[in-house]
Amino acid sequence: MGRRGGRGWYGRVFAAAVGVTAVAAVTSVWTAEAGPVSTAGAGKAGQHTAHAPQKAVSVEIAHASDRGARGVNITIDDGPDPVWTPQVLQVLKEYGVKATFCMVGTQAQAHPDLVKAVVAAGHRLCDHSVSHDTTMDKKPESYQSKEIVDAERMITEASGGVHPQYYRAPGGAFTPYSRKLAASHGMRPLGWNVDSKDFERPGTDAIVATVKSEISNGPTLLFHDAGGDRSETVAALREILPWLKEQGYRFGFPVR
């Protein structure tokens, strides 16, 4: 899921935390030369193949949308899941919305057909670690590295060669080290502004109400397509996506 403990933790805490821990925004270019050649969807706009050099990205955690002040970013965590990911993809297709899928490495490895379907539909990939350990920030750097880099490999291989463009720490458990490591691999650290709380399955109406009341917090919205019954999420997206359009929002991707 997107975050640990009390909901809204990351959006409220990060602004203060970044002022305490100054991290040099120096990143390197990811240049894996021997990755597999991309297949379905690899040539789509916004996707990167595993064998192509990646543009250097910031270590700072992204929140903004590439569509500007009225942009919103739909992000989907914890999949792919054979039951719920296809349903989420269908809703996104119906409303012409592109999203960012933050995938758990083992899930991607188990369901490569779904990873390829996400890419083929023009969505972006995000590394969400191998095992979704929300205590990663308390673990040694060697552990963090394995979780991030192994998931990157699993997702890239499952996609047929499309490299994740972002890294979202499970539960928002970023560290200066994990952010620098992700950025050095061409993956912008990715946060969120609105936690839909769909992971708790509070009911479709509650999910919709949360998004509507908190959309002023910022453009990046957090939903889930795995971790249990996501029928409420699917139903909520059917209400939220057209409502956002009616409010004049434009769907985009997190800045890189």
Terminal-to-terminal C-alpha distance of the chain: 22
Give the C-alpha distances (Å, rounded to integers) separating 125 from 104, 164, 181: 11, 5, 17
The reply to whether 7 falls in a domain is no
The reply to whether 24 falls in a domain is no
Number of domains the chain contains = 1
The reply to whether 79 falls in a domain is yes
Catalytic residues: 77, 224
Domain that holds residue 187: 57-252
The reply to whether 33 falls in a domain is no
Q: What is the CATH number of the domain that holds 132?
A: 3.20.20.370
The reply to whether 25 falls in a domain is no
Give the C-alpha distances (Å, rounded to integers) separating 151 from 31, 45, 56, 240: 17, 23, 19, 30
The reply to whether 27 falls in a domain is no
Neighbouring CB atoms inside 10 A of 210's CB total 21
The reply to whether 3 falls in a domain is no
User: One digit per residue, pLDDT tens: the chain, 256 residues?
Assistant: 444 433 333 333 333 333 333 333 323 333 222 232 233 333 343 454 444 446 679 999 999 999 999 999 999 999 999 999 999 999 999 999 999 999 999 999 999 999 999 999 999 999 999 999 999 999 999 999 999 999 999 999 999 999 999 999 999 999 999 999 999 999 999 999 999 999 999 999 999 999 999 999 999 999 999 999 999 999 999 999 999 999 999 999 999 9
Q: How far apart are CA 238 and CA 166, in angstroms?
A: 26
The reply to whether 41 falls in a domain is no
Q: How far apart are CA 46 and CA 43, in angstroms?
A: 9
